[in-house]
Amino acid sequence: MTFWQEVFYSVPAISPAAVILRGLFTYVWLLAFVRLMGQRELGRLTVFDGVVAITVGTIAAFPVTQPQVSLLMPLLGIAAWSLAHLGTSVAGNYWPAWRRVAAGEPVVLVKDGKLLEENLSASRLTMDDLMSELRLRGVPRLQDVEFAVLEPRGRISVFRRAETQPASRADLKLPAEHTGLPTFVILDGRILYDNLKDSGFSEAWLKDRLRRENIKDVREVKAAQLDAAGSLYVDRYDDDLPAPRSRREPALVARLKRAAAELQQFALDTQDQGARKTYTATARQVRDVLERLEPRLETPEQTAAGWLDPTVEQKREQGAQSAERWVPGDRPRRHRGGRKRGG
């Protein structure tokens, strides 16, 4: 008896090398047909998909564990089951009635806050099963559910009543920033140049941002993730180091300072006494907010790291100080023709 006969044919005993080779042949054959049946087999199994996957896996295990079983017959069995299941999926795309028979239909379990007991019983679910799924979806009260649907894949879709849904930023008419899909630009100490280029940033920009984090070598970084707004999150290998603080906080301080200075300038330029008082009061409120925020947000380490531009901040401070010299109620003096007003 030759070695290849041990691998492919039914024999009384089999050597360890033949077992290994049978396993490799079965693995490659099974992988090819799993990919042929589509990605749905891996992540979106219906009940029938699960039955097919278990059956095909059982067939694949026989020639590896049973030397009396020929390798060729299980391979043909895997091919037959896989092609039959693929044909069923393709037929379902053209005939919806066949798809409903093979995969099943969605079943409504709750409608307008009322439980449909017959559908729940036909689905072989208990009340505890349903309430557990509702709690996992963040809807612990049955009366808050508009629809609860058992999908063919075995999951339960839950739809809240309109009056119980949380308000979104669109409902509140609040602006929302588009951050895009974050992408890794550094992994395991190596720069991913393709991802960095697709994000619209350069290697020089990335290294400058790393220097602001006191990172001298990119090999110190386990992962760095970048979003479309340019916000960079860095995770080092050394987890004992303090986590980096957000750069949006110092930018907020800078914007508030500029707003206070501009409000004071508006108060100087307007001739309307009511508007002047409003501008002055608002500027004072902004400065009060700054006094409470600056000790928490703006530190010497942040300024040294380049989070704020000292030149710009100095100019804004000078503008704010000059505006503060004006006292509400005083009218600015004007000189015409280079002559001073007489007393």
- Tens of pLDDT, residue by residue over 311-323, are 444 444 455 444 4
**Helix, strand, coil shares of the chain as percentages rounded to 5?**
55, 10, 35
The domains spanning 107-164 and 183-236 adopt the same CATH topology: yes
> What is the domain partition of the chain in residue ranges?
3-100, 107-164, 183-236, 248-324
pLDDT at 109: 93
Q: 82 pLDDT exceeds 60?
A: yes
Which residue carries 């309109």 as its tokens?
162
Q: 74 pLDDT exceeds 90?
A: no
pLDDT at 323: 43
Pick the CATH number of 107-164 from 3.40.50.1820, 3.30.240.20, 3.30.2030.30, 3.20.20.140: 3.30.240.20
- Rounded CA gap, 99 and 94, in Å? 9
- Taking residues 305-315, report their average pLDDT: 43
Q: How many CA atoms lie within 13 A of 284 on its CB side?
A: 11
Percent of the chain scoring above 70 in pLDDT = 76
pLDDT at 191: 93
Q: Return the DSSP state at 330.
A: P
pLDDT at 286: 85
- Taking residues 101-130, report their average pLDDT: 88
- Taking residues 10-39, report their average pLDDT: 78
- Rounded CA gap, 60 and 29, in Å? 9
Copy the structure tokens of residue 59: 């067939």
Task: Identify residue 100 by its one-letter amino acid code.
Answer: R
pLDDT at 151: 86
What's this model's pTM, rounded to 2 decimal places? 0.45
* Collapsed DSSP state (helix, strand, coil) of residue 186: strand
Instruction: Place 336 in a pLDDT band, splitting at 50, 70 and 90.
Output: very low
Which residue carries 């049955």 as its tokens?
142
Distance of CA 165 to the CA centre of its chain: 21
Q: 186 pLDDT exceeds 90?
A: yes
Who wins on pLDDT, 178 or 315?
178
Pick the CATH number of 183-236 from 3.40.50.300, 3.30.365.10, 3.90.1150.10, 3.30.240.20: 3.30.240.20
Who wins on pLDDT, 321 or 174?
174
pLDDT at 325: 46
* Residue range 257-300, pLDDT digits in tens: 888 888 888 888 888 888 888 888 888 888 888 887 766 654 44
Who wins on pLDDT, 251 or 297?
251
pLDDT at 179: 62
Who wins on pLDDT, 314 or 115?
115
Q: 79 pLDDT exceeds 70?
A: yes
pLDDT at 108: 93
Q: Tell me what the pLDDT averaged over the chain comes to.
A: 76
Lowest mean pLDDT among 98-112, 169-183, 209-223, 272-286: 169-183
Instruction: Place 18 in a pLDDT band, splitting at 50, 70 and 90.
Output: confident
CA distances from residue 169 to 114, 121, 129, 135, 231 in whole angstroms, order as listed: 30, 40, 33, 25, 21
- Helices 47-65 + 16-37 axis angle, to 10: 160
What length is written for the chain? 343
